Amino acid sequence: MNTFRAGRIVSAAMKHSLLVMLALWAGDVGAKEPEKFVVHEWGTFSTFSGSDGKNLKFHPNDSDLPEFVHGRHRNVKGGVADVLVSLETPVMYFYSDRDRTVSVQVDFPKGVMTDWYPQASRPPTHDLRWDNIKLLTKCGRQLPGESEKGRYFAARETDSLFVEIAENDRRESEKFLFYRGVGDFGMPLKVRAQGSGVFNVKNTGKDMVPAFILLRSQDGKIAFQKFGRLEAGAELKVEEPSAASTTDKLAVTVIALLIEQGLYEKEARAMVKTWRSDWFSEEGTRVLYLVSEPVTADFLPVKIEPKPDQIVRVMVGRHDVLSPERERDIDSLVKRVNGESNQDAKLADQALNKLGRYRWAAQYAAEARIKANAGVRTDR
């Protein structure tokens, strides 16, 4: 073979290899990432107990919801006078690079659904079903209540898809699926107050608690301390923090914990904005704790079709607890409410109202203690 011919063969081979490489490169450039369908959710389980750690039934309400939200009763959540657990504002977000049609069912086997939006496909009881939900990257409709104010609307401040439900001639649009409920069951966390700012926090469940925060809010001042993982069955003795802090610092701490659990930053900020005044400013001592996903899946099983590529559910438990000192104060106020002086009764009543939705639970427990101390039998 002469040199010229050999050179042509080598040149042709190099040219072919170059064309193959270019074709592969062009194919890589044109290839798209697999389309991802992602679902995120956050919500709150609220409970209340006396210093002995025994959960007390309290009076939930939904007076903070806009009028367009569907529900069984207004101002008396679910028509239930008092419950052990209030399931508050779970919101479910959807993310995708294209429009989709999905169906969602959320079960609450130990409770009942009380509020929801958009409209469910069938009357809800222990479950909620939304069939044929349109997930839209753009929405040509104005969302309801855009000129209104209230905690509900903070949940819209994310990059999630729009949600649209169409039934007959009616269409309802939102940035998420919203629901609430109530139930009578125990959450897997028990808090006992020993007095003098000492508490025992016990994980009574079979799954770990990722983290929790002990906080006290009083007279516009706040103090808090963050604690790490609490294993199943473990009990930790903690002390109420004495160093004053700020709600801004507490907000940053909670947001960071939510992001660690898998929420996007905007979702975490939306959750804290929704509950900031309640969690941080309502007077009292409480524990905010992260609920593990297995516990959430047990209490709130969810089915989404088609199945998402990823689903993240981050629930926060809020447990308010009375200290022995606070119970003695309440006992004194209840005695004054039932005393002879009308004026003193009014002042005591105003002081008890600071307990908010926990007022009657705390008052009934105080009345039982007063009767017990007086030797009067009570079945409360």
Taking only the tens place, the pLDDT of each residue in 81-114 is 689 999 999 999 999 999 999 999 999 999 999 9
pLDDT of residue 374: 85
Mean pLDDT lowest among 66-70, 137-141, 259-263, 358-362:
137-141
* Angle (CA) 20 25 30, round 5°: 125
- What span, in angstroms and rounded, lies between the C-alpha atoms of 21 and 34? 23
Mean pLDDT lowest among 26-35, 109-118, 276-285, 361-370:
26-35
Sign of CA dihedral 70, 87, 95, 298: negative
Q: Omega into 118 within 30° of 0, i.e. cis?
A: yes
* Angle (CA) 195 196 202, round 5°: 50
Is beta strand 70-71 parallel, antiparallel or unpaired with respect to 111-117?
antiparallel
- What span, in angstroms and rounded, lies between the C-alpha atoms of 20 and 12? 12
pLDDT digits (tens, 9 = 90+) for 318-349: 999 999 999 999 999 999 999 999 999 999 99
- Predicted TM-score (pTM) of the model is 0.87
How far is residue 120 from each of residues 42, 124, 129, 240, measured CA to CA in Å?
Answer: 19, 7, 6, 43
Report which of residues 159 and 169 the model is more confident about.
159
Task: Reply yes or no on whether the pLDDT at 5 is more than 70.
Answer: no
- What span, in angstroms and rounded, lies between the C-alpha atoms of 307 and 25? 33
3-state secondary structure 62-97: CCCCCCCCEECCCCCHHHCCCECEEEEEEEEEEECC
- Residue 326 backbone zone (phi > 0: left; psi -120 to 50: alpha; other: beta): alpha
Task: Reply yes or no on whether the pLDDT at 24 is more than 70.
Answer: no
